[in-house]
Amino acid sequence: MIALVDANSFFCSVEKVFHPGLEGKPTCVLSSNDGCIVALTPEAKAIGLHRGDPIFKVRDIVERNKVAIFSTNMQLYAAMSKRIVNILRSSVEKVEQYSVDESFVYLDGYEKHYDLEDYMRKLIQKVKLYTDIPTSCGIAPSKTLAKMGSKFAKQYKGYNGVCLIDTDEKRQKALEIFDLADVWGIGRRTFEKLNYYGIHSALELADKKESWIRSHFNKPMLQTWMELNGIPCIDTTEVKQRQTICTSRSFGEMVCDLTSLKASIANFVSSCANKLRGQHSVAGSVTVFITSNYFREDLEQYSNGATFNFATPTSDTLEITNAAMMLLESMCRSDIHYKRSGVILSDIHNDLPIQQNLFDEVKNRMDRRKLMSAIDNLNQRYGVKSIRLGIEGTEKQAWHVKSEHRSGNYLTDINEILTIKV
């Protein structure tokens, strides 16, 4: 059996941990540059707010109802997410963090010694006690069914936080009432195609014959069908290892100088490389792209991108940054007002011993690996960006995203640690 532990309204829940006066009050978290609502509490939904609403269009609702507004603070959310995962791992041997607010918990063999529903209920209560973050849990034979169960546990209080789908009768009942469009792995186009063939519920999809699925859809849809029938077949760890890593931002203010663009690209490279090392991978290529402000019709429009292929795949921040700077200098124009830039690492594979290139320009590659590891350890201990490249800059710059409503990094930055006045 597999359990999916999902933090409820995670971004908002984290903010409420450090602002206890917000309990029961409408709360929203905004996207990059404080543009749109990306997370909101049930109280905020009840007054007419929705995910994706531009904040300037709903300002009257926000002000009239005294909605608490926060800028996205991924550093704070990631730190809290890590704490939740550590709590889960203290009670279950194998835990796979799938996203910042979701983790798969593998329970094979635990049913011999524990009542799984009771065991997981006590575990999510432990998470609530230690972090004050409410979570919901679904338990089922497959990951797709477990995700369905977590949604049921979140929607219906009668489950007391845990929904167990352990019989065929429960499975069919869940599939019958679950919205087909919300099934994990079914996007808009697939949903429309299913409707075209007369399939309007998850149960109708699961009841189709395997031969029909194979003849009308591709492998991912076959996997979804198998999962809905209780046959586990989706390997999310493999998906993570194959993913392209991208970091990009719209600037808080437009920039036109090369120094600012270099600082933004260097920061994005650092973030991407850190993620790369975190999953024990290396990248074979780096892509840099820059764009102007398409909303400013009075200004000249320009966008460009370029890719560099490494002779030896790498996760070295210095090496990737040097390549990125070369790309940026080759396509940057001084007469353009830039609004966005980004970095993409691709051709990603496991960090295993590989054939060295005779003409490798990095002669001390092993020493550089040790250096990157030491920097990662120090940044993990003393806070993100405690150690950084000089080109990244130290002061707040024009390209930095707007975050007027950002909470402090209470869990990772000693200078922003929460203080209580009495």
Residue 114 · residue 3 · CB < 8 Å = no
Share of the chain above pLDDT 70, in %: 95
Residue 92 · residue 105 · CB < 8 Å = yes
Task: For residues 2 and 134, state if they share a domain.
Answer: yes
Answer whether residue 354 is part of any domain.
yes
pLDDT at residue number 397? 75
Q: Which comes out higher in pLDDT, residue 47 or 418?
A: 47
Q: Which comes out higher in pLDDT, residue 359 or 180?
A: 180
CATH of the domain at 25: 3.30.70.270
- Lateral strand order in the sheet of 37-40: 37-40, 27-30, 68-71
Q: What is the mean pLDDT of residues 351-368?
A: 69
The three-class DSSP label of residue 93 is coil
Question: For residue range 24-43, what is the model confidence (pLDDT) as tens digits?
Answer: 999 999 987 888 999 999 99
Task: For residues 68 and 56, state if they share a domain.
Answer: yes
Q: What is the rounded distance in angstroms from the CA atom of residue 360 to the CA atom of residue 50?
A: 52
Instruction: Give the residue among 257, 8, 33 at the shortest CA–CA distance from 136.
Output: 8
Answer whether residue 184 is part of any domain.
yes
Task: For residues 159 and 17, state if they share a domain.
Answer: yes
Q: What is the mean pLDDT of residues 281-296?
A: 91
Tokens of 188: 């808009």
The full 3-state SS of 97-136, as one line of letters, equals EEECCEEEEECCCHHHCCCHHHHHHHHHHHHHHHHCCCEE
Task: For residues 98 and 158, state if they share a domain.
Answer: yes
CATH of the domain at 305: 3.30.1490.100
The three-class DSSP label of residue 28 is strand
Domain that holds residue 302: 243-392
Task: For residues 307 and 199, state if they share a domain.
Answer: no
Residues in the chain: 422
Confidence band (pLDDT; 50, 70, 90) for 289?
very high
Task: For residues 374 and 232, state if they share a domain.
Answer: no
Answer whether residue 401 is part of any domain.
no
Task: For residues 297 and 335, state if they share a domain.
Answer: yes
Contacts of 270 (CB under 8 A, 6+ apart): 317, 321, 385, 388, 389, 392
CB atoms within 10 A of CB 249: 18
Domain stop point among 241, 257, 283: 241
How far lies 401's CA from each of 34, 72, 252, 404, in Å?
8, 10, 4, 9
Q: What is the rounded distance in angstroms from the CA atom of residue 411 to the CA atom of residue 403?
A: 18
Answer whether residue 171 is part of any domain.
no
Task: For residues 367 and 229, state if they share a domain.
Answer: no
Domain stop point among 142, 166, 190: 166
Domain count, the chain: 3
CB atoms within 10 A of CB 350: 11
Residue 256 · residue 334 · CB < 8 Å = yes
Question: For residue range 294-323, what is the model confidence (pLDDT) as tens digits?
Answer: 888 888 999 999 999 998 889 999 999 999
pLDDT at residue number 353? 65
pTM of the model: 0.80
End-to-end CA separation in angstroms for the chain? 48
Q: Which comes out higher in pLDDT, residue 416 or 62?
A: 62
Task: For residues 94 and 139, state if they share a domain.
Answer: yes
Tokens of 390: 């000089």
* CA trace torsion 382, 383, 387, 388 (10° rounding): 180
Question: For residue range 109-162, what is the model confidence (pLDDT) as tens digits?
Answer: 999 999 999 999 999 999 999 999 999 999 999 999 999 999 999 999 999 999
Confidence band (pLDDT; 50, 70, 90) for 412?
confident
Question: For residue range 378-391, what is the model confidence (pLDDT) as tens digits?
Answer: 887 776 777 888 88
Has residue 360 got a pLDDT over 70?
A: no
pLDDT at residue number 192? 94
The three-class DSSP label of residue 349 is strand
CATH of the domain at 187: 1.10.150
The H-or-E segment that residue 242 falls in is helix 236-242
Mean pLDDT score across all residues of the chain: 90
Task: For residues 227 and 336, state if they share a domain.
Answer: no
Domain stop point among 221, 241, 261: 241
pLDDT at residue number 221? 93
The H-or-E segment that residue 253 falls in is strand 245-255
pLDDT at residue number 395? 67
Q: What is the mean pLDDT of residues 171-178?
A: 94
Answer whether residue 403 is part of any domain.
no
Pairing of strands 95-99, 102-106: antiparallel
Question: For residue range 229-262, what is the model confidence (pLDDT) as tens digits?
Answer: 999 998 877 655 667 899 888 888 888 889 889 9
How far lies 71's CA from each of 9, 342, 421, in Å?
15, 21, 24
What's the number of CA atoms in the CB half-sphere (13 Å) around residue 401? 20
Residue 178 · residue 193 · CB < 8 Å = no
CA angle 392, 375, 78 (to 5 degrees): 80
Q: What is the mean pLDDT of residues 3-7?
A: 96
Task: For residues 384 and 281, state if they share a domain.
Answer: yes
pLDDT at residue number 76? 92
pLDDT at residue number 357? 61
pLDDT at residue number 71? 93
Task: For residues 289 and 346, state if they share a domain.
Answer: yes
* Range among 101-105, 185-189, 233-237, 239-243 with highest mean pLDDT value: 101-105
